[in-house]
Amino acid sequence: MNSLKILGQEKVGNFEFTGIEGGFGEGKKSMLVKDIAEIHKRSSKVINQAINMNIKRFRAGVDILDLKASNFEVNLIDLGFTQNAINRSNNIYLLSERGYSKLLKILEDDTAWEIYDQLVDNYFAMRQSIQSENKALLADKRLEIMEQNAATRRAQLMYKIAMATKSQRHRELMLNRAGKELVGEMVIPAMEVESVEYTASEVAEKLGVLTKAGKPYPAKVGEYANRISLKAEQPGQNEYGRWIISKSKYSAKEVAQWVYFEAGVQKLKEYLELIK
C-alpha cells in the first residue's frame, strides 16, 4: 500500500497549507485541492470543476492523484477533511508541483502568477536544499531559481501582451511562447506554421504601386484592398491576411493594421492586372 507523509502546516508568504510528501515519488511535495482553493479564494468545487474539464491535460500518478479512488495509507480526516466532506466529495485531488503548475495555467488569474512565483521560490525549489544543509546544492538551487524567476517574468510579460491584444491568432502565439518559457512546451495545441506577412508598404513595393515620386504607395494598396473586400472585420483574419495591433508611426497610440498573406498579395496582383 502506498503511503503519504503529512508534514504539518507549511507557509509560503502569506499562504498556509497542509504540507505533504509522497504519492509522486520519494521526497516529492504535493498539495491538496482544498488548500489550493483557499489560496485562490475559490471553492473546492470550482477548482475540481476546472480540473475535471481539463482532466486530459493531467497525467495520473505524475500530475494528479484522487485520494478517494487511490489505495493510499492515509487518513483523510488527518488531512483536515470531515467525514461529511469525504462522503459528499466525488474527488479528493492531490496535485504534484507539475500538476499545480498546469492548474495555474488553467486558472489564468492574477493570483495564479503571484502564487507560482512564491511556490517555486520558497517551497518546491528551496525546501529540499535547505533541509539537506548542503551549501553547494543550495547555491545551485539559488542559481536555478534566479533563472526560473527570469523565465517567469518573461512569461508574465508575454501573458500581459497576449491578454491586451484583440487578435486571437496573436494571443495564441504569445500564450504559447509564455508556456514555453515556463515549462518548455506548448500550453495550447500547436498551430500551423505562421504565414509570411506583408505590410501595405511592402505590398506596394512588391507590386509596383508607387507614388508619382516613385515611392511605395501603401494608402493606395489599402484602397484597392477595400474595393475588392479583401479585409476581414476587426478584429479577425481570413485567407488573405489579418489585423494586428501596432504602434502608430506618428504617436505612441496603438492602431489596428492589416497585414497581407501571400494569398492577399496574389489577389491584389490579379486585381491590378484587371484594371490596367
Indicate whether 65 belongs to any domain. Answer: yes
Number of C-beta neighbours around residue 215 at 10 A: 11
Confirm if 239 and 171 have CB atoms less than 8 A apart: no
DSSP summary character for residue 128: H
Q: Is residue 148 part of a domain?
A: yes
Query: Does residue 9 belong to any structural domain of this protein?
Result: yes
Q: Give CA–CA dist 73/6, Å, rounded.
A: 11
Range of the structural domain that residue 164 is part of: 125-194
Question: Domain tally for the chain?
Answer: 3
Looking at the structure, tell me whether residues 166 and 206 fall in a common domain. Answer: no
Residue 37, C-alpha cell as written in the block: 482553493
Contact 161, 174 (CB under 8 A): yes
* Helix, coil or strand: residue 236: coil
C-alpha cell belonging to residue 114: 503571484
Counted residue by residue, the chain has a size of 276
pTM value > 0.75? no
Whether residues 94 and 33 fall in one domain: yes
With beta carbons less than 8 A apart as the criterion, state whether 269 and 198 touch.
no
Percent of the chain with pLDDT over 70: 60
* The last residue of a domain, from among 60, 83, 98: 98
Confidence at residue 12, expressed as pLDDT on a 0 to 100 scale = 60
**From 21-25, 140-144, 206-210, 239-243, the region with the lowest mean pLDDT:** 140-144
pLDDT of 272 reads 92
Q: Pull the grid cell for residue 276.
A: 490596367
Same domain, 210 and 239: yes
| Mean pLDDT within 143-147 | 60
pLDDT of residue 189: 45
Measured between alpha carbons, how far is 110 from 114 in angstroms, rounded to an integer?
Answer: 7
Residues 61 and 146 in one domain: no
pLDDT at 183: 57
Burial class from Cβ neighbours inside 10 Å (0-12, 13-18, 19+) for residue 175 reads buried
| Residues 21, 66 within the same domain | yes
Judge whether 1 lies within some domain: yes
2-61 per-position pLDDT tens digit: 567 777 777 665 667 777 887 787 778 888 888 888 888 888 899 999 999 999 989 988
Does the pLDDT at position 195 exceed 70?
no
Q: Which residue has the higher pLDDT, 250 or 19?
A: 19
DSSP string, 99-128: HHHHHHHHH-SHHHHHHHHHIIIIIITTHH
Question: Could you give the CA distance from residue 194 to residue 172 in angstroms, rounded to a whole number?
Answer: 12
Considering 194, 220, 248, which residue would you say is the last residue of a domain?
194
Report yes or no on 115 lying in a domain: no
